[in-house]
Structure formats: structure tokens, C-alpha cells
């Protein structure tokens, strides 16, 4: 048996899509799994299917953006399954549109699910990981929209950029410990995110969802990767301690284009202000920023 066999994990967004795929892969490895999702009906179905497959699982219906409840949820998961050593932040929503066409209410909802909940879950579990010692791991899910700027989805893309940044910082802060960090950057995966988010956004704004829009947005996703195969890939990468996990090679040129522009700006700058003492100290291996 190899890690995380015999461990306990918590997976958000576990009622469908990549979250359910990750939960299935973990159950297949012999991991006990707390399944978190806001959709109680689908979550109950997922719990039953995983139990029927021989898994030890616990369904925890929960709106992950309710950040004040994360400690309670962590306690419940650990009371039922034992100490959690693998936190998988998979849940996410898409909402709004272009920056000037996104209501602040929708912006805050997207951020609440996509990044505030990731921070709150880490704040709940990381002290537990540190106090217990031993191997532990945090998986955060961003998106290619978190490394490549995408017009028309301002709230989603910027929140996913924040997830990328949070994960990079966590890796730096946990360097030299037994706590690993991985960042999942999925491309198109056949998940119901557009329908689920469309329904939730419509409810938030007190209107009916336009199914034609959701169907149009979901058409390409439906041709994407199988979420169960992505789940298997995630568990494999986490076991191996890999940081970046991608699902499609085709995004490489877009990533390079975005980041080469930044690199070029540094290369072409004339250095008129002299050397930066913080960067110089960091290059020498000194930590210059403290809390």
C-alpha cells in the first residue's frame, strides 16, 4: 500500500465532475473520504455509489463559502473518519461575464466559492496537519483561466488567478515540511459546472436560468476529459508530490504567450532605479518579508 491508502481525505465539489472523480480514485486507493458539496441530492447519490463500491465515505452537505463553518466541518469529518491528511479543494463556480457586466453580488459569490473557501479550508486543516506531524497534502483547483487571461469571465478568471497565487505561496511557506501542495489546472473537462453555476447564479439574482446559454457554454466542455480519469491523474500526481497538474497540452502556447510578455518587460527594462534590495536578498536565499 502507498500513500494515501489508509488515510482520510476531504474533497469539495464531490457530488459531480472532477470532485466526484477524485473521490472515486481515492476510494479505489483505500482512502476514507469526506464528501462535501452544496447539492444534497447529488451528494447522497455519490455517497451511495461510493459505499456500494466498498468505500468508507461520509457525505457532508455544506456551502463551502460559509467560511465560519469550516472548523465545524473539519471536526465532523475527523470524528467520523479519523485525522484528515489530504485536503482536496475541487469545487468551483463560473458566473457573471465581462468585468463591466458582472454584478458585485455575483463577483462576491464567485470569489466566495473559488478562493475564500480555499483559504478557509486551509486555515481549518493546516494547523491540524502541522500539530499532528507526518505526511499531509493540500490540493487546490484553479483552471487554465488561472494562468491564461480569458475575456468574458472576469470573476471566474481572476478568482482562479488568486487560487494559483495562493497555492504557489503555500508551497513556499511549507517548503522543507512533510506537507505537500498541488495545483490542478484543468482545461476542458466534461463536468456540469456551467449548468450548476447557471442555476445558482440565477437563484442568487432572483431570476430564471436561460438553459440555451448554459447548453451553448457546455457544448465544448462535454467533449473534454473524463472527470474520472482526471481524478485518477490527480491522485497519482499527489502521491508523487507533483505541484502543477495539467490536463491538456494544447494550452502550453497560450501560457507561454502570457508569461513571456512579463519576462520580456523585465529583460527590456533599463534598470533606471538601481538594484532592488528585496530581490537581491531573496536571490541570496534570505527571507526578507516577515509577519
Question: 142: closest CA among 255, 55, 66?
Answer: 255
> Residue 153 in 3-state DSSP?
coil
All cell numbers assigned to 290: 516577515
> Residue 227 in 3-state DSSP?
helix
156 is catalytic: yes
All cell numbers assigned to 146: 488561472
Which class for 101: exposed (0-12), middle (13-18), buried (19 or more C-beta within 10 A)? exposed
Residue showing cell 508523487: 240
Residues 285, 291: Cα–Cα separation, whole Å: 18
Residues 235, 4: Cα–Cα separation, whole Å: 8
From 70, 111, 156, 161, active-site residue = 156
Which residues sit opposite 140 in a β-bridge? 89, 183
Residues 33, 7: Cα–Cα separation, whole Å: 9
Number of neighbours of residue 135 by Cβ within 10 angstroms: 15
- Which residues are part of the catalytic machinery? 156
Amino acid at each position: 500500500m502507498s500513500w494515501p491508502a489508509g488515510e482520510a481525505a476531504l474533497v469539495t465539489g464531490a457530488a459531480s465532475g472532477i470532485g466526484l472523480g477524485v473521490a472515486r480514485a481515492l476510494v479505489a486507493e483505500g482512502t476514507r473520504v469526506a464528501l462535501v458539496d452544496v447539492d444534497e441530492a447529488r451528494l447522497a447519490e455519490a455517497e451511495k455509489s461510493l459505499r456500494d463500491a466498498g468505500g468508507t465515505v461520509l457525505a457532508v452537505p455544506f456551502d463551502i463559502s460559509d467560511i465560519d463553518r469550516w472548523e465545524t466541518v473539519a471536526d465532523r469529518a475527523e470524528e467520523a473518519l479519523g485525522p484528515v491528511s489530504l485536503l482536496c479543494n475541487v469545487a468551483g463556480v463560473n458566473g457573471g461575464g465581462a468585468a463591466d457586466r458582472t454584478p458585485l453580488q455575483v463577483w462576491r459569490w464567485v470569489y466566495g466559492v473559488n478562493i475564500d473557501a480555499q483559504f478557509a479550508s486551509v486555515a481549518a486543516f493546516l494547523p491540524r496537519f502541522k500539530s499532528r506531524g507526518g505526511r499531509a497534502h493540500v490540493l487546490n483547483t484553479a483552471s487554465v483561466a488561472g494562468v491564461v487571461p480569458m475575456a468574458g469571465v472576469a470573476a471566474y478568471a481572476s478568482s482562479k488567478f488568486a487560487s494559483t497565487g495562493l497555492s504557489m505561496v503555500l508551497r513556499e511557506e511549507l517548503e522543507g515540511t512533510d506537507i505537500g501542495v498541488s495545483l490542478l489546472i484543468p482545461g476542458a473537462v466534461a463536468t456540469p459546472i456551467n449548468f450548476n453555476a447557471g442555476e445558482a447564479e440565477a437563484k442568487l439574482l432572483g431570476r430564471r436560468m436561460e438553459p440555451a446559454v448554459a447548453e451553448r457554454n457546455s457544448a465544448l466542455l462535454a467533449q473534454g476529459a473524463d472527470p474520472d480519469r482526471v481524478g485518477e491523474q490527480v491522485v497519482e500526481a499527489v502521491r508523487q508530490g507533483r505541484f502543477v497538474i495539467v490536463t491538456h497540452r494544447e494550452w502550453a502556447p497560450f501560457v507561454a504567450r502570457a508569461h513571456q510578455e512579463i519576462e520580456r518587460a523585465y529583460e527590456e527594462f533599463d534598470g533606471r532605479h538601481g538594484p532592488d534590495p528585496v530581490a537581491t536578498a531573496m536571490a541570496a536565499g534570505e527571507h526578507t518579508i516577515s509577519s
